[in-house]
Amino acid sequence: MHKLIKQEMGHGQWKKQGFNLCCLLMLCIISFLRGGKSPISFDKCSTEDWISVSVFIILLATIVYFATVSLAAEQQVKIKYGRVNIVESDLVFEGPVLK
């Protein structure tokens, strides 16, 4: 718990920034592959192009899932220890609906 509080006191939230960095890198890669000017680019609307876009969407959905699970786990720890560092604007990960 102390590690979580210390992490949130500063700007060193590297796990959350890691999710963002992965998304940014994947976006850059897909842009290069679909741009048509790099040596390994795909023709637009080709089979390879659609496969790369499908893989990109699946990977982004996977990252969103793991980021949400990670944040929900952190929030449960905060709630368990007396709602430490929880503010009114935080999303609530309880029940079937995200609030």
Q: What residues does each domain of the chain span? A: 14-99
Q: Which DSSP string do the residues of 57-70 spell out, in sequence order?
A: HHHHHHHHHHHHHH
Position 17, amino acid: Q
* pLDDT single digits (tens) 40-71: 888 888 898 899 999 999 999 999 999 888 88
Please compute the mean of the pLDDT values over residues 64-79 and round it to a whole number: 85
Helix (H, G, I), strand (E, B) or coil at 36: coil
Predicted TM-score (pTM) of this structure: 0.72
**Residue 11 has which token pair?**
């700007």
**Is 27 within 8 Å of 60 (Cβ atoms)?**
no
**Is 85 within 8 Å of 78 (Cβ atoms)?**
yes
